Amino acid sequence: MRRSELIFTAILVPLDFLMLLAAGFLAYYLRVSAWLDQYRPVLFHLNLPFEKYFLLIFSVSLFLLAVFALVGLYKIKPVRRTLDDFFKILIGVSAGIIILVFYIFLRREWFDSRFLILAGWLLAIFFLTGGRYLMSKIQTFLIKKYQFGAHRVLVIGRDRVSQNIIQSIKREPNLGYVLVDNLIEPDLEEIKNKVRNPGVEEIILADPDWPKKRVLELVDFCEEKHLIFKFVPNLFQTLTANALVETLGSLPIVELKRTALDGWGKIIKRAIDIFGAVLGLILIGLFFGWVAPVIKWDSAGPVLVKLKRVSRGKNFKLYKFRSMVKGAEDLKKFLWTYNERKDGPLFKMRNDPRITRVGRFLRQYRIDELPQLLNVLKGEISLVGPRPHQPDEIAKYKKHHKKVLAIKSGITGLAQAGGSAELSFEEEVKLDTYYIENWSFLLDLKIFFKTLMILFRDKSAY
């Protein structure tokens, strides 16, 4: 799922809210206007002044947003169809108005203007549909003109199904796809070359007769390179596949999902990351005043270090308070024989001589990791996720280890909350894999609070 799809869907929430407010205000303006008042005088304005009406419309609009979510108006799609949205808007607004009327009937204390309810209902449908139509046109224009948010697709296959997919992509650019190429019977090396140049983000296997072994190799490759993998299923696969089924033109397409973290879950997780990072950075400003001079006093070198790490397959610089002597990375090769993590590519040494006196204290209470909130704010990592490792360590990963690269890394994760530094590398991978496949907002909360609980009890960090 592309970031542009998340952005356009997220914009719909405040857009719908503004359209509902506009519909409510216009209904009120029409009712109290001199033109309508001469035919039917206003009788409710003493009981419902504009200030009270504003609070009412504000509350009703928030309630309707919840109803819209239930009817599927905020389901994330590459491109939205106005007619589909219209019917869902009609259902959502009508259901909301019916509930509102029922509430008024029970309470009998707001107002008795049938015009406001009827006009608000009609105007809300009109404004919401119009706003979404305009947003759809903007999105379609950006896709056609600049390929903004379009999925760059490689189609594999040569039969009629493959040609139907290709024709649908070319005929309907508003579907959100751009065809990079169509490979007939490629081997994996040819696919790798095509992915590198000119660049592919999604692979659609349209040939249902591909050998099972080659399909598994292709799936592994897509997972390693963080490519979306879709295939055209037969009837049995359509009924039994534990995956996302959509349509491209008139054909069903199955997308294999590497993680449950997608759609609105990704939006909510990012919003929490930003809020938590901003709040945390304000708080660590208090730490910085005494941590910085103590680090400088204890040993030569900078207060903050930038370490090479990998998150979701991309290299970045991880910020930490310096806890080792200057040039520590260059000294690691001389200490490798003392590595206590024999089961994997990571280097761990309990009495690492490179750690300074102050650094040992910072590590014991995880204070050295606080500057990583800067990476969270930049969107390079998340508050919760698999720990980021070094590029040279990831180069030694086995195939099943690369599963942990499917999502953003995190400051803390299930492995850290479950056993800290005492876990073996394979156990850490298993826990991170479970987190990726079973992500939920509740699981993030459990990991976060469990991390806080063990912060001062677990002294195993080294």
At 425-442, the pLDDT tens digits run: 888 888 888 888 888 888
Alpha-carbon span 432 to 385, nearest angstrom: 8
Alpha-carbon span 435 to 455, nearest angstrom: 20
pLDDT score, position 125: 93
Residue spans per domain, the chain = 3-146, 151-255, 264-454
Which of the two residues, 265 and 240, has the higher pLDDT score? 265
Per-residue pLDDT at 43 exceeds 60 = no
- Per mean pLDDT, which range of 28-37, 186-195, 322-331, 443-452 is the poorest? 28-37
* Amino acid at the residue 179: L
Per-residue pLDDT at 423 exceeds 80 = no
The pLDDT tens digits of the residues spanning 408-420 come to 999 998 888 865 5
* Amino acid at the residue 91: I
CB 273 within 8 A of CB 383: yes
pLDDT score, position 198: 67
Q: What would the mean pLDDT of 364-379 be, rounded to a whole number? A: 90
**Tokens for 280?**
């945390």
Per cent of the chain over pLDDT 90 is 16
Q: What would the mean pLDDT of 151-175 be, rounded to a whole number? A: 82
The C-alpha angle with vertex 152 and arms to 149 and 154, in degrees rounded to 5, equals 160
pLDDT score, position 244: 62
Q: What would the mean pLDDT of 24-37 be, rounded to a whole number? A: 75
Conformation bin of residue 174: beta by default, left when phi > 0, alpha when psi is -120 to 50: alpha
**Tokens for 250?**
């008139």
pLDDT score, position 373: 93
pLDDT score, position 240: 45
CB 154 within 8 A of CB 204: yes
pLDDT score, position 128: 94
Q: Among 202, 312, 191, which Cα is nearest to 248's?
A: 202
Per-residue pLDDT at 300 exceeds 70 = yes
Query: Across all residues in the chain, what is the average pLDDT?
Result: 81
CA end-to-end span of the chain:
38
Q: What would the mean pLDDT of 215-241 be, rounded to a whole number? A: 73
Per-residue pLDDT at 115 exceeds 90 = no
- Note the CATH number of domain 151-255: 3.40.50.720
- Per mean pLDDT, which range of 28-37, 71-80, 155-164, 359-368 is the poorest? 28-37
The answer to whether the predicted template modeling score (pTM) of the entire model surpasses 0.85 is: no
Residue 126: pLDDT band (50, 70, 90) is: very high
pLDDT score, position 243: 55
Q: What would the mean pLDDT of 41-66 be, rounded to a whole number? A: 76
Angle, helix 3-32 to helix 50-71, in steps of 10 degrees: 140
Per-residue pLDDT at 31 exceeds 80 = no
pLDDT score, position 456: 62
Question: DSSP assignment of 237-252, as one string?
Answer: HHHH-SSEEEEETTEE
Which of the two residues, 150 and 321, has the higher pLDDT score? 321
Per cent of the chain over pLDDT 70 is 84
Phi/psi of residue 247, each to 5°? -120, 140
- Per mean pLDDT, which range of 232-241, 256-265, 365-374, 404-413 is the poorest? 232-241
Q: What would the mean pLDDT of 132-147 be, rounded to a whole number? A: 83
Residue 114: pLDDT band (50, 70, 90) is: confident
pLDDT score, position 375: 94
Which of 229-233, 299-303, 343-347 is the most confident on average?
Answer: 299-303
pLDDT score, position 242: 47
pLDDT score, position 235: 46
Residue 160: pLDDT band (50, 70, 90) is: confident
